Amino acid sequence: MKKVLILLSLFLYFIMPVSAKNVMPSHVSKVYTNTLGVYQAGKEITLYDEPHDGANVVAHISWEGDNIFPANKDFAKVFIVYLPKKELALLAVIDETDDWVQVLYDNESGLRGWLKKDDPYKFMSWISFYNIYGKKYGLYILKDTPSTIKVLRGSTEDNSQVVSELNFPQKIKLNVLRGNWALVSVMDLDKTPKTGYIRWRSNEGAKYLFPDIK
């Protein structure tokens, strides 16, 4: 029995550093309310103070698996989503030109810089991001979401008829986005399928639901 416990402890020791690097939003945050969308970052990120090649470099960040450089950087502060197994690293975008995006590279302090696009399709507006990843993986409700949001309504109006209240949704399938509302099909704890509209973000841009990328 003692050997089993030791082996289990060693197993947890080795897997925890990797799993701890996964970054997904868990709480409603005002950090991203004024952002345009996300940019899929390459493994070498050079950020400038202005959107042209002759500008001053404000930061250089690189990542590989569960390692980030400089080592004092925090995955959760740099990225809005980071899933090393998928090699998916998403930065929040504040502004955009044809060739550049201005991104947050410290979500706590608000540090920002300009990143030259290496592929124009790596920038996704929030609508595009939700349409791609939300439809593929479904959605989940962020913590601190007001209880008034956790209902399905008959239309895209805050005072429209309540179709159903959500208790412990097991799966939220995104069907279509309409403005700040999402038409979803939900499998709740009672195993009864329910369909209706739910706010995925506030009028100010605060997100209540997020793609459940796995």
Reading the chain (214 residues) residue by residue, the pLDDT tens digits are: 544 434 444 334 333 343 458 999 999 998 999 999 999 999 999 999 999 999 999 999 999 999 999 999 999 999 999 999 999 999 999 999 999 999 999 999 999 999 999 998 999 999 999 999 999 999 999 999 999 999 999 999 999 999 999 988 989 999 999 999 999 999 988 788 899 999 999 999 999 999 999 9
Q: What is the pLDDT of residue 191?
A: 82
Cβ neighbours for 15, distance < 8 A, ≥ 6 positions apart: none
Q: What is the pLDDT of residue 176?
A: 97
- Which pLDDT score is estimated for 190? 79
Contact between 172 and 184 under an 8 Å Cβ cutoff? The reply is yes
Q: Are residues 21 and 104 in the same domain?
A: yes
Give the end-to-end CA distance of the chain in Å, rounded to a whole number. Answer: 34
Is the backbone of residue 89 left (phi > 0), alpha (psi -120 to 50) or beta?
Answer: beta
Please tell me whether residues 107 and 135 are part of one structural domain.
no
Question: Are residue 58 and residue 142 in the same domain, yes or no?
Answer: no
Measured between alpha carbons, how far is 58 from 110 in angstroms, rounded to an integer?
A: 13
- What pLDDT is stored for residue 13 in this prediction? 38
Residue 180 lies in domain = 127-211
Domain end marker among 101, 118, 135: 118
CA neighbor of 106 nearest in space, from 79, 70, 66: 79
Domain total for the chain? 2
Q: pLDDT at position 74, please?
A: 95
Same domain, 114 and 134: no
Q: Do residues 137 and 85 both lie within one domain? A: no
Residue 80 and residue 90 in contact, taking contact as beta carbons nearer than 8 Å:
yes
- Looking at the structure, do residues 186 and 106 belong to the same domain, yes or no? no
